């Protein structure tokens, strides 16, 4: 397991950095049997509204021909933290990724090192509207608007809505250099895929959701598949969740002793771009 820990560190940072059939235009009158505003409202109403989510997790990371399967947990507190813990043996944590409104922290506990990236640096490097609430929406199975903490029915005019036979795609208007598209099922109004792409290039990330289960009177996906497009090395992640809960009674602060060494983001990127 030791030889894989740094790979986990590299792959998770790379995944987060990357996050940086034909359709027809709907009329303003119908989407199925609903107006655009009514359908938009239904999509929002079906999104999770809990304060917290926790789950056991199996994670498969694939970078080019390298693949690793690990177990762990996902914990989220709305507007506070997203915590991915890798604990493959007897619940002993070997690595974690923590996302807060301040930025991203990835910790390698075996080799006692970490990389810490403020969102200001991510925004500067990618020229994209990357912030905590975008990542929160990806893990929470929600649509979002870049730069906004939440989306309400009043934001319907910020989206264009296109429909095919079974799905409707909501695309953000006037996004800066990036494309944001959310594919939903017309029958249930569930978000099945989020796509973020760089305009005029092949670079993008697809975040797909599946195997929805009941949780506190809502539907939540127990599978999430993430694929980075356009990079020299293919990078994918498959999250398989179980034992879902809305428990918020857990400590969300990561504490590191002086024994941990900080790794520069550029060192991580050199490994990714080899």
Instruction: Kindly report the pTM of this predicted structure.
Output: 0.83
pLDDT band at 24 (very low <50, low <70, confident <90, very high): very low
pLDDT at res. 193: 97
Mean per-residue pLDDT of the chain: 83
Q: Tell me which of 11 and 179 has the higher pLDDT.
A: 179
> Which DSSP state fits 158?
G
pLDDT at res. 20: 54
Asked if residue 84 has pLDDT above 60, the reply is yes
Q: CA 220 → CA 25, 207, 235, distances in Å? A: 29, 14, 24
Listed range (31-35, 143-147, 161-165) with the worst mean pLDDT: 31-35
Given a contact cutoff of 8 angstroms between Cβ atoms, the answer to whether 35 and 43 are in contact is no
pLDDT at res. 227: 92
Q: What is the mean pLDDT of residues 194-198?
A: 91
Largest CA-CA distance found in the chain, in angstroms, rounded: 62
Q: Cα–chain-centroid distance for residue 19?
A: 8
Q: What is the mean pLDDT of residues 196-212?
A: 90
> Which DSSP state fits 155?
G
Asked if residue 269 has pLDDT above 80, the reply is no
Q: Which two tokens stand for residue 129?
A: 């509207």
Q: What is the mean pLDDT of residues 66-86?
A: 92
CA-CA distance, 106 to 118, in Å (whole number)? 12
Q: Parse the chain into domains and list their residue ranges.
A: 21-245
Asked if residue 17 has pLDDT above 50, the reply is yes
Q: Cα–chain-centroid distance for residue 83?
A: 12
pLDDT at res. 171: 94
Q: Tell me which of 101 and 274 has the higher pLDDT.
A: 101
The listed CATH number (2.50.20.10, 3.20.20.70, 1.10.10.10, 2.60.40.1730) that belongs to domain 21-245: 2.50.20.10
CA-CA distance, 153 to 272, in Å (whole number)? 40
Q: Tell me which of 55 and 234 has the higher pLDDT.
A: 55
């Amino acid at each position: 397991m030791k030889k894989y820990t740094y790979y986990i560190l590299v792959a998770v940072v790379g995944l987060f950095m990357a996050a940086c059939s034909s359709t027809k235009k709907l009329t303003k009158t119908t989407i199925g049997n609903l107006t655009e505003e009514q359908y938009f409202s239904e999509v929002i109403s079906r999104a999770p509204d809990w304060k917290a989510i926790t789950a056991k997790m199996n994670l498969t990371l694939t970078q080019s021909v390298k693949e690793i399967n690990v177990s762990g947990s996902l914990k989220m507190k709305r507007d506070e933290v997203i915590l991915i813990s890798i604990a493959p043996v007897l619940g002993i944590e070997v690595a974690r990724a923590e996302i807060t409104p301040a930025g991203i922290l990835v910790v390698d506990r075996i080799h006692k090192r970490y990389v810490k990236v403020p969102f200001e640096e991510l925004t500067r490097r990618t020229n994209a509207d990357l912030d905590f609430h975008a990542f929160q929406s990806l893990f929470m199975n929600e649509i979002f608007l870049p730069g906004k903490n939440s989306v309400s029915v009043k934001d319907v005019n910020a989206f264009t809505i296109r429909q095919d036979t079974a799905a409707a795609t909501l695309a953000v208007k006037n996004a800066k250099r990036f494309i944001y598209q959310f594919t939903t099922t017309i029958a249930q109004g569930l978000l099945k895929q989020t796509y973020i792409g760089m305009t005029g290039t092949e670079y993008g990330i697809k975040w797909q959701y599946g195997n929805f289960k009941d949780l506190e009177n809502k539907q939540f996906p127990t599978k999430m598949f993430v694929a980075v497009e356009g990079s020299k090395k293919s990078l994918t992640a498959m999250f398989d969740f179980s034992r879902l809960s809305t428990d918020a009674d857990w400590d969300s602060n990561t504490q590191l002793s002086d024994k941990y060494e900080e790794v520069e983001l550029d060192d991580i990127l050199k490994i990714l771009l080899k």
